[in-house]
Amino acid sequence: MLKSPEDLIALQERVKAENNGKIILSLCSGTGCRANASQKVFEALQAELASLADPRIVLKQTGCHGFCEKGPILIIYPEEICYVSVKPFDARDIVAQTIAQGRVLDRLLWKSGLITAAHHSEIPFYKHQTRYLLANNTHVDPTSIEDYLRCNGYSALRRALFSMTPQDVIQEIKRSGLRGRGGGGFPTGVKWEATREAEGNEKYVVVNGDEGDPGAYMDRSVLEGTPHSVLEGLIIGAYAIGAKSGYFYIRQEYPLALENTRKAIEEARAFGLIGANILGSSFGFEVSVHQGAGAFVSGESSALLSAIEGRVGEPRLKYIRMSTSGLWGKPTTLNNVETWANVPLIIANGPEWFAGIGTPGSKGSKIFSLVGKVENTGLVEVPMGTTLRKIIYDIGGGIKNGKKFKAIQTGGPSGGCIPEAHLDAQVDFDTLTELGSMMGSGGMIVMNEDSCMVDVARYFVEFLREESCGKCIPCREGISEMVSIFNRIVRGEGKPEDLDFLEDLSVLVSEASLCGLGSSAANPVMSTLRYFRNEYESHILHKTCTSLVCKAFIAFHVDAAKCRGCGLCKKQCPVNAIYGEKTEAHVINQKMCIKCGACMEICPSKFNAIGKVSPVSQLQNLAP
């Protein structure tokens, strides 16, 4: 139990001293790597290390390291040797060679062409990033508060409680220029100030951990990897605002984030960092975790508060600001996970430090989850204002398999698709909005020439239809109608006037909907109509899908000159649509073909005899 700021400093010093000269094996154990047998790697390493029985060696499971493409990742400190795609059977060599004899295992290092990187910081994926929020993820055990204290954890809280007034804290957050990371981009300090100045003694602070965007997982990784940084930010916020209690709202699909957050709260309470008279000050704070019940719309602020209150997670009219009337009608500040995690950094390093990073309108760094058709998928933290090109090519390593870039979708399902012409755009709140997309929570999905933009828009609109709560008419019926139109278009039944109707529906849904889900739901449609209208037109007018995706417009065929009649495709075809004798060129019966693509996949690459064409009428031009 820490009873004074001096106690905290003493404990931090003790933990640091204890860890001096230790060899730390830090194994990525985020959700992604766990699915990749990271737990087995851990057990194997544990078993091997037992034989050395060296107390200087510490093996720990950390949060997500971010380079998910190459997980599980093991970093050995202090040298920072980085092993990628580690398998359980590698444990023996790692311990026997690297740990016992200091020999680096070449086969486990990251390689690309002729370049090999032995150290974490030399890998281009990491080298071009600027990591503040994710810095602890590669070496701190999220289930140990002492490990967080080793990295000066809770020093920002100490500074806030003992050398700043609540107003000072708010002023620093305002000066830093921090804007909400959940998507809205509202200035955090202004929000806090309004809540502080609102009437009433009972106030709340809430963490929005309902990250529901497909392909986005930065909040999950922050909660899994450094739950204490979010908690510390929340306690500082509560002190600044004058709140005595707070909530973590975390979606139920994140069991590890829930577990680590609960553990962090428990430990913080045991150490006297939550509860009455924190570190001996007059400030007291209580916090609990609310597990979401699985609805995308619950990430919307008013719906989220309804859910915590025990009601259906559904948006309400919120023309009275939450800072005046939020949770149970009391003044409330709701911030995203990443926003809260920024707070200790700002208080510890000063607002000028934070304001020095980024662009005039968007300060600090932002975590993006880079997924899709890039070489290096994973979590990317860069200063605001970094160009899309740098994120995709320098960090992401470019497009997979040498394909051509087509678009990047930012901001989750209700974001927009940005084409190649804007790759040099700076990523910040305002630029993305101007381009018809949005920052959102920071999802980035890269698409290549094989992605049909009509199909992509259809996918996102369908997702939003499933997730619309149905309370207001435009969102419920408008999005559903959009899905019907998209289905017609990809079936080959689209009409030219459908594009006008889609545009009208976009206006309806974005102008008239009740909450943010509806008002941003048209973004994928509007941005693809803006940048890729030609694809819509070729679907409707020419029954052609240039990306060869939409089944109604494509046909598979066998190139008789290349086919050796191996019979693999014939065997693979689920509807027996392929015929031909052994060693003779095979033929696809177009009437029977269901266009599943199984034949194309199985055809040996040395033959590469099966192709796709669009429109279907192209088949006639092929020989014979």
Partner 1 sequence: MDISITINGKKVSGKKDETVLDAAASIGIEIPTLCHLKGLSPYGGCRLCLVELISGKRSQLVASCGYYLKEGLVVETDSPRVKRARALVLELLIAAMPGSQEIQRYARQYKVTSTRYKRNLDHCVLCGLCVRYCEEIKKENCLGFVGRGVDREVAWAPLSKYKDTCEGCMECQKFCPTGVFPSNWGIAQNTLAR
Among positions 376-405, residues that touch partner 1 (CB under 8 A) are none
Residue 114 lies near partner 1 (rule: CB under 8 A)? no
Residue 470 lies near partner 1 (rule: CB under 8 A)? yes
Residue 300 lies near partner 1 (rule: CB under 8 A)? no
Piece of the chain touching partner 1 by CB under 8 A; list 101-109, 164-172, 243-251, 467-475: 467-475
Helix intervals (H) in 25-72: 31-35, 38-52
Residues 367, 182: Cα–Cα separation, whole Å: 11
* Choice between 80 and 503, CB closer to partner 1: 503
Residue 328 lies near partner 1 (rule: CB under 8 A)? no
Report in angstroms how near the CB of residue 326 gets to partner 1 at its nearest. 16
* Choice between 308 and 485, CB closer to partner 1: 485
Residue 511 lies near partner 1 (rule: CB under 8 A)? yes
Piece of the chain touching partner 1 by CB under 8 A; list 188-196, 408-416, 462-470, 614-622: 462-470
Residues 65, 28: Cα–Cα separation, whole Å: 6
Helix 453-467 to helix 479-491 angle (10° resolution) is 150
Residues 619, 621: Cα–Cα separation, whole Å: 5
For residue 91, give Cα distances in angstroms to 42, 57, 141.
8, 14, 20
Residue 471 lies near partner 1 (rule: CB under 8 A)? yes
* Choice between 238 and 295, CB closer to partner 1: 295
Instruction: Judge contact between 244 and 285, C-beta under 8 A.
Output: yes
CA R_g for the chain? 27
Residue 476 lies near partner 1 (rule: CB under 8 A)? yes
Neighbours of 170 (CB within 10 A): 24
Neighbours of 623 (CB within 10 A): 6
Work out which of 439, 469, 529, 569 binds partner 1, going by CB under 8 A. Answer: 469
Residue 372 lies near partner 1 (rule: CB under 8 A)? no
* Choice between 316 and 562, CB closer to partner 1: 316
Residue 299 lies near partner 1 (rule: CB under 8 A)? no
Residue 197 lies near partner 1 (rule: CB under 8 A)? no
Residue 89 lies near partner 1 (rule: CB under 8 A)? no
* Choice between 453 and 508, CB closer to partner 1: 508
Report in angstroms how near the CB of residue 552 gets to partner 1 at its nearest. 19
Beta strand residue intervals within 53-203, DSSP E: 57-62, 74-77, 81-83, 110-112, 115-117
Residue 138 lies near partner 1 (rule: CB under 8 A)? no
Work out which of 10, 270, 293, 473 binds partner 1, going by CB under 8 A. Answer: 473
* Choice between 501 and 579, CB closer to partner 1: 501
Report in angstroms how near the CB of residue 497 gets to partner 1 at its nearest. 8
Q: Which of 381, 378, 382, 358 is nearest to 430 (CA)?
A: 358
Report in angstroms how near the CB of residue 486 gets to partner 1 at its nearest. 14
Report in angstroms how near the CB of residue 609 gets to partner 1 at its nearest. 43
What phi and psi, each to the nearest 5 degrees, are found at residue 194? Answer: -65, -40
Residue 309 lies near partner 1 (rule: CB under 8 A)? no
Residues 423, 113: Cα–Cα separation, whole Å: 25
Report in angstroms how near the CB of residue 253 gets to partner 1 at its nearest. 16
Piece of the chain touching partner 1 by CB under 8 A; list 162-170, 177-185, 478-486, 546-554: 478-486
Phi-psi region of 185 (alpha: psi -120 to 50; beta: other; left: phi over 0): left
Instruction: Judge contact between 440 and 183, C-beta under 8 A.
Output: yes
Report in angstroms how near the CB of residue 300 gets to partner 1 at its nearest. 13
Among positions 486-505, residues that touch partner 1 (CB under 8 A) are 501, 504-505
* Choice between 271 and 463, CB closer to partner 1: 463
Residue 474 lies near partner 1 (rule: CB under 8 A)? yes
Sequence-separated (6 or more) residues with CB below 8 Å from residue 45:
25, 27, 59, 74, 91, 94, 95
For residue 408, give Cα distances in angstroms to 397, 527, 542.
15, 11, 26
Work out which of 484, 534, 576, 617 binds partner 1, going by CB under 8 A. Answer: 484
Residue 529 lies near partner 1 (rule: CB under 8 A)? no
* Choice between 27 and 472, CB closer to partner 1: 472
* Choice between 409 and 513, CB closer to partner 1: 513
* Choice between 319 and 620, CB closer to partner 1: 319
Residues 406, 95: Cα–Cα separation, whole Å: 44
Sequence-separated (6 or more) residues with CB below 8 Å from residue 413:
213, 214, 460, 463, 464, 524
Work out which of 119, 175, 316, 390 binds partner 1, going by CB under 8 A. Answer: 316
Work out which of 312, 423, 568, 616 binds partner 1, going by CB under 8 A. Answer: 312
Alpha carbon 584 to chain centroid distance?
A: 49
Q: Which of 405, 413, 363 is nearest to 388 (CA)?
A: 405
Residue 541 lies near partner 1 (rule: CB under 8 A)? no
Residue 295 lies near partner 1 (rule: CB under 8 A)? yes
Supply angle C-alpha 268, 274, 276, rounded to 5: 145
Instruction: Judge contact between 64 and 379, C-beta under 8 A.
Output: yes
Work out which of 63, 225, 478, 524 binds partner 1, going by CB under 8 A. Answer: 478
User: Which 8-state DSSP code applies to residue 427?
Assistant: -
- Residue 590 three-state SS: coil
Residue 472 lies near partner 1 (rule: CB under 8 A)? yes
Report in angstroms how near the CB of residue 513 gets to partner 1 at its nearest. 7
Tokens matching residue 591 = 């009437």
* Choice between 106 and 497, CB closer to partner 1: 497
Q: In what order do the strands lie in the sheet with 286-291?
A: 286-291, 245-250, 204-209, 332-336
Instruction: Judge contact between 446 and 370, C-beta under 8 A.
Output: yes
Work out which of 481, 525, 553, 588 binds partner 1, going by CB under 8 A. Answer: 481
* Choice between 95 and 198, CB closer to partner 1: 198
- Residue 398 three-state SS: coil
* Choice between 203 and 476, CB closer to partner 1: 476
Q: What is the dihedral of CA 343, 347, 352, 353, to 10 degrees?
A: -80
- Residue 53 three-state SS: coil
Residue 507 lies near partner 1 (rule: CB under 8 A)? yes
Site size with partner 1, rule: CB under 8 A: 31
Residues 540, 489: Cα–Cα separation, whole Å: 6
Residues that bind partner 1 (CB under 8 A): 295, 312, 316-317, 319-320, 465-474, 476-478, 480-481, 484, 501, 504-505, 507-508, 511-514
